[in-house]
Structure 1
Amino acid sequence: MDRLSFIGVVLALAALVGGSVLKGAGIAGLWSPAAFVIVILGTLAAILVQTPMATFRRAMKIVRWVFQPPVRDGHAQIRRLLEWSNTARRQGLLGLEPELPGVRDDFLRKGLQMVVDGSEPEQIRQTLEIELQSQQHRDMAAAKVFEGMGIYAPTLGIIGAVLGLMAVMKNLADPSHLGHGIAAAFTATIYGIGSANLMLLPMASKLKGVINAQATEREMIIEGLIAIAQGENPRNIESRLSGYLH
């Protein structure tokens, strides 16, 4: 679990609730069904219009990476590649074939299969780089779903505030309702700006960071597999791949 994300969410909620209490608005002042409908459902509606179904599904699938990013261990990955390099030097590339069933990562297994099949290094690079770029593009598009929601939410918050003020203007003859009506109107602004800056935009940035780190690891895998296919010395491979860990 990403502890920083968890702590951030807790602090965000504490900031909103604590700030509302300290300012005298109370916890109840943060709840407004009308604001929820306008801002939250409105933001969801806007992003659904903007986003293709496949991208939206991917976004819902990777959102867990904010709190539980994919496990990455660059040092372990390098050790694995070095073991394969030593095996290939002793037994030849076909000696790596028994390793295939134990490789869970589809990207790594595809690359290793190409090495075992004796594919040319340039062909391995081109094939894996195309797959890497394609996957990175899909994941980045999914991360931008939350970025888009973070852009729409504040605007929907303003719309909610305007609608609330319109309702207040219709009841100017009854001063007893003015204060409550104005407070409820601005709650929509809190929903919009708060959800965007405390949740949606930070989530998008966290996902982009995870995606870029994953892409860097896969670039390292590509270089390692090509070096194995070319029969390079394991020490040279280790020296080259270690640069990806910094």
Structure 2
Amino acid sequence: MDLTTIIGIIAGLIALIGGFLWEGGHISGLLQGTAALIVFGGTFAAVMISFPASRLKKIPTALRVAFGRRTRLPQELIEDLVHMAVIARKDGVLALEQSSSEHPDPFLREGIQMVVDGTDAELVQQILELEIEATEQKHENYAKIFESAGGYAPTMGIIGTVMGLIHVLGSLQEPTQLGPSIAVAFTATLYGVASANIIFLPIASKIKARGEEEIQNMELLLEGILAVQNGEHPLLVRKKLASYTSDSSLSRKPEARGTTHETTD
């Protein structure tokens, strides 16, 4: 679980509610069931209309992407690829079949399996690039659902406020109730704007950020798989892949897993 997403949402809500209470407001003034029904019910309905059921079924997966933690760091993947480069140079690419089949990353497993099967390097690259494009589109589709919710929510809040004001204007014979009634009416706008900017849009941005991380890992793996297939030296593989990380020390790190004494051809 990625705590930054949860902490961010909680911190945003605390900041808004805390500021309201600090100014002398009462928490009961923020709890309006009718406003919540209009804003969140209307937003949910608008999202349902905007996307087919096949896309809406992916919402739980999208939430796992936003709230989940990055499973594999680029440094770990580089070490795995360097290790595979060592095996390929010593024993040939066929020796990679067992180690690749046990790897937790399905993209790396598939790529190395194609290498073991003797697939042409150009074809390997084309297939894996198509998978990268599909993954990028998948995350984009996830983010669009929450972006649309972030667009609809403020509008639904305005609709709720207008509906509340219509009710207020219909009760002008009770002037003492105008102030509280108007305050209740504007609660809908608060719900819409706050949910859009603290929940929906930030979640969409987090999904995009996670997608960028995954794409970067896949591009790193693609480069490493092709390097292993070409029989490149493990040290060169490390230096090449180090450009995908912010840790430039990787390119100067001694060869791991028994490759320290190997010399460059």
- Determine if the TM-score, normalized by the shorter chain, exceeds 0.5: yes
Greater Cα shift, 76-85 or 16-25:
16-25
Percent identity between matched residues is 39
Is residue 2:47 matched to residue 1:47? yes
Is residue 2:18 matched to residue 1:12? no
Amino acid at match of 1:104: P
Match of 1:78 in 2: 78
1:20-31 equivalent positions in 2, closer than 5 A:
20-31=20-31
Is residue 2:193 matched to residue 1:193? yes
TM-score w.r.t. length of structure 1: 0.96
The secondary structure found in structure 2 opposite 1:70 is: coil
Greater Cα shift, 206-215 or 68-77:
68-77
User: 2:97–2:113: 8 Å Cα contact kept in structure 1?
Assistant: yes
- Alpha-carbon distance between aligned partners in 1 of 2:212 and 2:59, rounded to the nearest angstrom: 16
Match of 1:173 in 2: 173
Question: What RMSD over aligned residues (CA atoms) do the two structures have, in Å?
Answer: 1.3
Is residue 2:219 matched to residue 1:219? yes
Amino acid at match of 2:24: G
Q: Deviations over 1:104-161 (max 9, x none)?
A: 3222211111011011111111000101101210121111111111111101100000
Amino acid at match of 1:87: I
- Alpha-carbon distance between aligned partners in 2 of 1:23 and 1:54, rounded to the nearest angstrom: 46
Residue 232 of structure 1: how far off its partner (Å): 1.1
Residue 22 of structure 1: how far off its partner (Å): 2.0
- Alpha-carbon distance between aligned partners in 1 of 2:183 and 2:222, rounded to the nearest angstrom: 57
The secondary structure found in structure 2 opposite 1:43 is: helix
- Alpha-carbon distance between aligned partners in 2 of 1:66 and 1:205, rounded to the nearest angstrom: 9
Match of 2:129 in 1: 129
- Alpha-carbon distance between aligned partners in 2 of 1:28 and 1:16, rounded to the nearest angstrom: 14
1:135-154 equivalent positions in 2, closer than 5 A:
135-154=135-154
Runs of 5+ consecutive residues of structure 1 not aligned to the other structure: none
Residue 185 of structure 1: how far off its partner (Å): 0.3
The secondary structure found in structure 2 opposite 1:187 is: helix
The secondary structure found in structure 1 opposite 2:204 is: helix
Amino acid at match of 1:190: L
Match of 2:95 in 1: 95
Residue 229 of structure 1: how far off its partner (Å): 0.7
User: 2:100–2:108: 8 Å Cα contact kept in structure 1?
Assistant: no
User: 2:43–2:149: 8 Å Cα contact kept in structure 1?
Assistant: yes
The secondary structure found in structure 1 opposite 2:57 is: helix
Q: Deviations over 1:67-100 (max 9, x none)?
A: 3233121111111111111111111111111113
User: 1:20–1:30: 8 Å Cα contact kept in structure 2?
Assistant: no
Runs of 5+ consecutive residues of structure 2 not aligned to the other structure: 247-265
- Give the structure with the larger helix fraction: 1
Residue 21 of structure 1: how far off its partner (Å): 1.2
Match of 1:245 in 2: 245
- Alpha-carbon distance between aligned partners in 1 of 2:143 and 2:69, rounded to the nearest angstrom: 13
Match of 1:69 in 2: 69
